[in-house]
């Protein structure tokens, strides 16, 4: 995915942001799940009032933790020689005749079906 | 004597006012297995961050291979290639969604040619036994797997000094064993390995030399068979003595062991001791006292 974005010549900063966001969606979700679980284990969502309060706390803690995590990540990246650009090795994809044939074939069928649905060429 | 890493009287206070290091001094010999022990908040991680130039001492000096650290780009780049740090929390180190790309980050930063990077990545994944995970997204890995991916990411840079913060914390015994075996292999190839840990039994059996930190200072150091017997030192660092040492001291106290015997470093040592000259004496003694 990132490889495609890079090939499309989007600025490196965008691509990096995209990759980091993708990775951290999962980290943040996992953190939120853990906080939610630990809150529910202590009757955090037992009543409506509790739920409001717990949810508020969850969001604020999540923000603080995300900030902390971003700092820790920056430190860890520096330790591995980060100097402003997230360079990783892209997998190389070969141009494959089979794939091209499959893609154009499917495309043609879909196009035909779409047109046929509109009453053309019949 | 040749020191690969040295900190001389280093002071560091975090921007929020927490004093983390208050005159820490430590010197690591090249090619040794070194354990750094101390309670939470003793300053172990902060000291590590000084060793590859991420933090700058506010007072004191840090040396790498006899050279005082300079903080220009070129020097830091070289330093960070040669001193690798594996952090305790894998989620703060992993940034990529793919294992292969994650591991390739370090060698790519070194500006190596593609083939070389692929070779280093493969080698590191092999050594940490994560080759099967190469195409897995990092968020689907277990904690132990993440930890090994982090280690691979640092190993792929072929560091001369490997620093690991709590490498076995949170791992099951099998993988903890494997990681320790890996450290031993690296040690045999000449890598200097430094571990921070709370696990006194592990440090005692593994290390060539041990340091103890407390309150931002190095409060004790020495050969494991000497320092780990110092109950007062260990207690001041909120640590307990390794069970092998406890057992040895008990045996000596009961008069089951000769004065000249050194404490056993491992289970194998203990068996040998039990089977040897002092050991026969020990078993007889234990029988007579009807305890132990």
Reported as a single tens digit per residue, the pLDDT across B20-63 is 999 999 999 999 999 999 988 899 999 999 999 999 999 999 99
Dihedral angle computed from the Cα positions of residues B197, B198, B202 and B206, in that order, rounded to the nearest 10 degrees: 40
pLDDT (tens digit, 0 to 9) for every residue of chain B, 292 residues total? 689 999 999 999 999 999 999 999 999 999 999 999 998 889 999 999 999 999 999 999 999 999 999 999 889 989 999 999 999 999 888 988 889 999 999 999 888 899 999 999 999 999 998 999 988 888 899 988 999 999 999 999 999 999 999 998 888 888 888 899 999 999 999 999 999 998 899 999 999 999 999 999 999 999 998 899 888 888 888 888 898 888 888 888 887 776 677 788 888 887 777 766 555 555 555 545 444 4
Residues in chain A, overall count: 122
Quote the Cα angle for A78-B46-B178, to 5°: 75
Q: Give the model confidence (pLDDT) of A20-57 as tens digits.
A: 888 889 889 989 999 999 999 998 888 898 899 999 99
B97 and chain A in contact, CB less than 8 A: yes
Q: How many CB pairs under 8 A join A and B?
A: 86
| Closest listed residue to residue B229, CA positions, set B248, B254, B211 | B248
Task: Tell me the domain boundaries of chain B.
Answer: 3-102+157-240, 242-292
B159 and chain A in contact, CB less than 8 A: no
Q: What is the largest CA-CA distance in chain A?
A: 67
CB B202 within 8 A of CB B179: no
- Which residues of chain B make contact with A87, given a CB cutoff of 8 A? 105, 108-109
Domain B3-102+157-240: CATH architecture, name and number where available = 3-Layer(aba) Sandwich (3.40)
A77: nearest CB among B73, B95, B110:
B95
Q: Is the ipTM of this complex over 0.90?
A: no
> Considering only alpha carbons, which residue of chain A is nearest residue B156?
A80
Task: Tell me the domain boundaries of chain A.
Answer: 2-91, 93-122
- State the pLDDT at residue B278: 54
| Closest listed residue to residue B151, CA positions, set B103, B218, B209 | B103
A72: nearest CB among B80, B92, B97:
B92
- Report the C-alpha gap between B59 and B41 in whole angstroms: 20
CB contact under 8 A, B101 and A69: no
- Report the C-alpha gap between B183 and B205 in whole angstroms: 13
- Report the C-alpha gap between B157 and B212 in whole angstroms: 28
B84 and chain A in contact, CB less than 8 A: yes
Percent pLDDT > 70 in chain B is 92
- Report the C-alpha gap between B90 and B204 in whole angstroms: 25
Alpha helices in chain B (DSSP H): 44-51, 73-82, 99-109, 114-127, 143-155, 173-188, 200-206, 224-227, 231-236, 243-253, 267-275, 277-289
- Report the C-alpha gap between B66 and B4 in whole angstroms: 7
Token output for B120 = 């280093």
């Amino acid at each position: 995915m990132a490889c495609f974005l890079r090939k499309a010549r989007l600025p490196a900063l965008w691509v990096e942001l995209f990759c980091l966001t993708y990775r951290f969606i999962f980290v943040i979700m996992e953190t939120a799940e853990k906080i939610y679980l630990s809150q529910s284990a202590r009757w955090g969502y037992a009543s409506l009032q509790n739920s409001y309060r717990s949810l508020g706390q969850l969001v604020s803690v999540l923000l603080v933790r995300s900030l902390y995590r971003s700092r820790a990540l920056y430190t860890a990246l520096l330790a591995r020689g980060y100097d402003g650009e997230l360079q990783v090795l892209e997998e190389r994809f070969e141009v494959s005749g089979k794939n091209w044939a499959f893609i154009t074939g499917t495309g043609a069928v879909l196009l035909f079906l779409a047109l046929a649905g509109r009453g053309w060429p019949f | 004597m040749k020191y690969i890493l040295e900190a001389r009287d280093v002071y560091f206070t975090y921007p929020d006012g927490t004093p983390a290091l208050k005159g820490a001094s430590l010197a690591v010999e090249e090619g040794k297995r070194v354990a750094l022990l101390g309670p939470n908040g003793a300053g172990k991680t902060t000291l590590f961050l000084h060793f590859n130039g991420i933090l700058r001492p506010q007072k004191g000096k840090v040396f790498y291979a006899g050279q005082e650290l300079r903080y220009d780009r070129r020097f830091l780049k070289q330093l960070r290639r040669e001193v690798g740090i594996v952090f305790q929390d894998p989620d703060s180190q992993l940034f990529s969604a793919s294992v292969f790309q994650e591991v390739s980050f370090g060698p790519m930063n070194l500006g190596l040619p593609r083939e070389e990077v692929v070779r280093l990545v493969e080698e590191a994944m092999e050594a940490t036994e994560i080759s099967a995970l190469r195409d897995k997204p990092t968020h689907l890995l277990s904690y132990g797997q993440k930890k090994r991916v982090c280690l691979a990411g640092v190993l792929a840079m072929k560091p001369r000094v490997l620093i690991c913060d709590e490498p076995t914390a949170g791992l099951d015994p099998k993988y903890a064993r494997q990681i320790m075996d890996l450290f031993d292999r690296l040690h045999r190839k000449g890598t200097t390995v430094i571990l921070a840990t709370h696990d006194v039994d592990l440090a005692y059996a593994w290390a060539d030399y041990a340091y103890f930190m407390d309150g931002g200072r190095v409060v004790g150091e020495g050969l494991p068979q000497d320092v780990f017997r110092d109950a007062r030192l260990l207690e001041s660092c909120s640590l307990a003595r390794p069970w092998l040492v406890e057992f040895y001291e008990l045996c000596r106290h009961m008069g089951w062991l000769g004065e000249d015997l050194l404490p056993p470093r491992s289970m194998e040592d203990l068996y040998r001791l039990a089977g040897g000259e002092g050991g026969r004496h020990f078993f007889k003694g234990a029988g007579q006292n009807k305890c132990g």
